[in-house]
Structure 1
Amino acid sequence: MFALMLTSSITTVLLMVTSAALAWVAYEIYSQNKRRSKEIAVDGLLEPPTPVRIPIIGHLHLMGGYEVPYQAFSFLGKKYGDIVKLQLGNVKCVVVNGQKNIKEALVTKGHHFDSRPNFQRYQQLFSGNKENSLAFCDWSDTQKTRRDMLKAHTFPRAFTNNFSSLESLISSGTRSATSEIKPGEVTHLKPIILKHCANIFLSHFCSKHFSTTDENFSEMVENFDEIFYEVNQGYAADFLPFLMPFHRKNLERMNLLAHKIRRFVEDEVVEDRFDDLDVESEPNDYLESLIRNVRGGETPSLPWDTALFALEDILGGHSAVGNFLVKVFAFLVNEPDVQRKIQKEIDEVVGGDREVTIGDRPRMPYTEATVYEAIRLIASPIVPRVANQDSSIDGYRIENGTVLFLNNYDLSMSDQLWEQPGKFLPERFVKEGRLIKPEHFLPFGGGRRSCMGYKMVQLVAFGILGGFLQNFTVLPVDNETYRVPIGSLALTKDTFKFRFARR
């Protein structure tokens, strides 16, 4: 009798839950139709199509079953259209597919969509205020000032002192990195590449250089890499804040790493330069530009704490470059023909009497195209935008505060835009002996929120890749799998190992 009563009770509960779910679905469909007809009538804008959502989680369940969420966005785009409205947890979102629509969001109406998501995790990762970050802050006068100060250093023009200095630093760093390679032996490449990328960045932006055996320097590089990996992860807690307590310990650890980085920057990089710098003289590097801005007037546009965050952000860019380069080698280990073509280009343009330099880029389109092709296949997402006002894309209403996911994965992997998109073919970026960049290739975004470090990625990656392949051929290690993860530049700490054969 008890068993029958229990079964009956469970059945009743299930029926009630099922009925409630069905009622919710019916209400959702009714509400969507009502909203759509109402909104069209008021101002002529269309309400973006939206799938039926589930209570609490909204449409988060639609993200499951894919290697990266952007693959789900492509599927939704094919089913519902280029503009799709989603409710991810408590965050209202719109997925933007298609080159024309993405450019409208990035450029034509970029000033409508220049804010960033207000995820709690971002707040905690940047000392309680995401505005401290260059990449994750909203647009502001402070952000404009920081970007303007960076341009001369992150986009050095050819034949300038900045470019010549960076060229020399990249060549020196590549020489040091290749000297650590022991031909024939199994090599854990990531620590080597990260340290030398870090020294290139520190030398270029701060006129500082450290021994790769320096323990404090090595710890700083590892700390940056861990934080870089963390900010590139996506969690359900970003959309369901009640899950944040499950990430508390990890976020506390990230904050500890950030404090250690700050101590290193203050003690080992800035040292006494803040007080000793002659602010009337021309700055020699980015650090001096920041100090000059803070100390050079009665009303500095940047507080010193904000300036330090900007400095740490751009120095942390070495992690992005280092992780990317390791992925490039992981692609090339399975592409011996591509390696041979790069080496042939190096031999014809540079020869063996001098090193490859970034000044060789105009005459080495295939090598640079290899960098482009790796960027394309990784399909790293454009940082989400947030609407700062009511606006529209392709005639669809975008409400103020909506998070925009710009589907760069579809632009990079669409078989309508690329021939054999799953294959590693640098040739697709070379035409008549010249490097080309298709209009639908937008890996670094666009408009005033485009990535500030993308030229550094290209320059440093070209120099180090060229230097390595001038000296070595990259070979696989037995039982090592070289499957390059997509959707992010970040790699785990203990990642691909290689062997190098001297040419």
Structure 2
Amino acid sequence: MLAAVGSLVVAFWATLHLRTLLLAAVVFLFVADFLKSRRPKNYPPGPWRLPFVGHLFHMDFSQSHLQIQRYVKKYGNVLSLELGVISSVVITGLPLIKEVFTHMEQNFLNRPITPISERSFNKNGLIMSNGQIWKEQRRFTVTMLKNFGLGKKSLEQRIQEEAQHLVEAIEEEKGKPFDPHYKINNAVSNIISSITFGERFEYQDDRFQELLRLLDEITCLEASLVCQLYNVFPWIMKFIPGPHQTLFSNWEKLKLFVSQIIEQHKRDWNPDKTRDFIDAYLKEMEKDTDKTTSCFHEENLIYSTLDLFFAGTETTSTTLRWGLLYMGLYPEVQEKVQAEIDSVIGQEKLPSLVDRASMPYINAVIHEVLRMGNILPLSVPREVTVDTTLAGYHLPKGTMILTNLTALHRDPKEWATPDTFNPEHFLENGQFKKKESFLPFSMGKRACLGEQLAKSELFIFFTYLLQKFTFKPLKNEKLSLRFRVGLTISPDTYHICAVPRA
């Protein structure tokens, strides 16, 4: 009997001891999270946060950019949000944005490195690298883009030729409803592909269509809640199946595609004849004799090529898809566009960049598509490099900075009809007018390096498409401005009729 009681006491004590340990561990984790997430003095205000995950479960990821506007109204133009373990601050309003990206830019030059971006890009490439790696990769890429035609007639001719291929592909639809997504993706991607890979890909190329599909899936997945949870608990999430695993798998497939093209280039490489970006990079790698310190190596070549491929496809393609959608929704605007085309270049001449100055209305329409499409609502994030004071608030080193372009591009003080598609926002006395509060390509040293290329593509593709077709909704159906939120904001899948013009 005594032995039985003793065993019971031991068992009870063991259970109690285990519970005590578990309770102590939980208390310790909560205290550690509290201490780690304590806001310093004069830190920007923000909503109440949950332990460990911060505001992740406060956010509606299907329209997070709109939810942030509600927080701005409550907490002001410098707003703090905790995205898991990542402390972020949203800045709103042109004066603050200019302060950050002009007068104080040296304090905001870095990109934040999240567990997802580190696993995907290993701090390499053009977009997510920092310090000397970023400076050297960007300097080299800007030079190479110029060498391969940026701002020259040769690249303009390539865009014109691709616009003709796109028109031919759309003509095959014979005016019936179709989804323009992948045709436009293919056309836009072929421009950057000709620079990076030295070739374009046919619209029927199944392998390339699969790569474009992977790219689109990555764009959608990376902004999802599950992928954001990976940033909070990477040591756990890496063992759990889900969309984040699909994201990493897709990146690996894209890296493999680029690696195979690099290997092909190596086999027939002639240092005296530079065909494309990959050739130029291989030549740069040969020049660097100290391989231990050089940032020009094959891994960086893969990531920089992928950055160009991704950035050179996604944003311009998405903008064009928004453009066709707005033309279907605003036939009166489309008629004015076509009237300007007919009066300036007619229906046969290929649009050229020299025509842009004579076509203010089309230029205004394209800018209004960029404003209303809101492709990158929070721009590409930056990171505070040293403890900084902004508008009286203390921003600790490592804080992620998000630029509220949604508020800037819908500011009633800056735009006459901020929530309505209205090309007159960019016109004054019939002439095109630049707007200081229009920043879809960001500003400063880390602004989009492909801005000139994107604007050239948008003008030639858009003008040529409207020269050849009138875009209309399906009979007895209405087009919708429903959107899909990912790394970019893109229109939901839609079908439209491209009716050939007489």
Above 0.5 in TM-score?
A: yes
CA 1:105–1:161 in structure 2 vs 1: closer, same or farther (change >3 Å)? closer
Per-residue deviation, 1:499 = 0.4
Over aligned residue pairs, what C-alpha RMSD do you find?
A: 3.0
Is contact 1:358–1:463 with CA below 8 Å preserved after alignment?
Answer: yes
Match of 2:65 in 1: 70
CA 1:161–1:69 in structure 2 vs 1: closer, same or farther (change >3 Å)? closer
CA 1:493–1:366 in structure 2 vs 1: closer, same or farther (change >3 Å)? closer
Match of 1:436 in 2: 433
SS, match of residue 483 in structure 2: coil
SS, match of residue 200 in structure 2: coil
Aligned positions of 1:265-276 closer than 5 A? 265-267=258-260, 269-274=261-266, 276=268
Is contact 1:472–1:500 with CA below 8 Å preserved after alignment?
Answer: yes
CA 1:152–1:111 in structure 2 vs 1: closer, same or farther (change >3 Å)? same
Q: Write the deviation string for residues 353-394 of structure 1: whole angstroms up to 9, x where unpaired.
A: 311123322222221222211111122221121111101212
CA 1:231–1:146 in structure 2 vs 1: closer, same or farther (change >3 Å)? farther
Match of 1:42 in 2: none
SS, match of residue 152 in structure 2: helix
> 1: CA distance between counterparts of 2:188 and 2:43?
47
> 1: CA distance between counterparts of 2:239 and 2:413?
42
> 2: CA distance between counterparts of 1:224 and 1:303?
24
Q: Is 1:500 the counterpart of 2:498 in the alignment?
A: yes
Amino acid paired to 1:500: A
Aligned positions of 1:6-155 closer than 5 A? 36=41, 46-60=42-56, 62-64=58-60, 68-126=63-121, 129=122, 131-137=123-129, 139-152=130-143, 154=145
> 2: CA distance between counterparts of 1:132 and 1:212?
31
Q: Write the deviation string for residues 31-53 of structure 1: whole angstroms up to 9, x where unpaired.
A: 87xx64xxxxxxxxx44234443
Contiguous gaps of at least 5 residues in structure 1 = 1-19, 37-45
Amino acid paired to 1:260: K
What TM-score do the two structures reach when normalised by structure 1? 0.82
> 2: CA distance between counterparts of 1:390 and 1:371?
39
Match of 1:360 in 2: 355
> 1: CA distance between counterparts of 2:444 and 2:306?
24
> 2: CA distance between counterparts of 1:73 and 1:53?
15
What TM-score do the two structures reach when normalised by structure 2? 0.82
Match of 1:221 in 2: 212
> 2: CA distance between counterparts of 1:161 and 1:382?
24
Per-residue deviation, 1:405 = 1.8
Q: Write the deviation string for residues 230-266 of structure 1: whole angstroms up to 9, x where unpaired.
A: 3455654166327845974323333333333233334
Match of 1:310 in 2: 304
Per-residue deviation, 1:428 = 0.9
Is contact 1:74–1:97 with CA below 8 Å preserved after alignment?
Answer: no
Aligned positions of 1:20-419 closer than 5 A? 36=41, 46-60=42-56, 62-64=58-60, 68-126=63-121, 129=122, 131-137=123-129, 139-152=130-143, 154=145, 163-181=152-170, 182-233=173-224, 236-237=228-229, 240-241=232-233, 244=237, 248-267=241-260, 269-274=261-266, 276-279=268-271, 281=272, 283-299=274-290, 300-316=294-310, 317-379=312-374, 380=376, 381-419=378-416
Per-residue deviation, 1:282 = 6.7
CA 1:450–1:491 in structure 2 vs 1: closer, same or farther (change >3 Å)? closer
Match of 1:466 in 2: 463
Per-residue deviation, 1:179 = 1.0
Match of 2:483 in 1: 485
> 1: CA distance between counterparts of 2:87 and 2:448?
24
> 1: CA distance between counterparts of 2:54 and 2:248?
31
SS, match of residue 88 in structure 2: strand
Q: Write the deviation string for residues 272-330 of structure 1: whole angstroms up to 9, x where unpaired.
A: 43354343x47443222211111223135411121121012102221332222112211
> 2: CA distance between counterparts of 1:201 and 1:149?
16
SS, match of residue 58 in structure 1: coil
Per-residue deviation, 1:146 = 1.5
Per-residue deviation, 1:453 = 2.3
> 2: CA distance between counterparts of 1:368 and 1:489?
26
Is contact 1:95–1:407 with CA below 8 Å preserved after alignment?
Answer: yes
SS, match of residue 48 in structure 1: coil
> 2: CA distance between counterparts of 1:388 and 1:340?
50
Per-residue deviation, 1:401 = 1.0
CA 1:261–1:473 in structure 2 vs 1: closer, same or farther (change >3 Å)? same
CA 1:417–1:125 in structure 2 vs 1: closer, same or farther (change >3 Å)? same
Percent identity (aligned) = 25
Is contact 2:384–2:398 with CA below 8 Å preserved after alignment?
Answer: yes
Is contact 1:232–1:488 with CA below 8 Å preserved after alignment?
Answer: yes
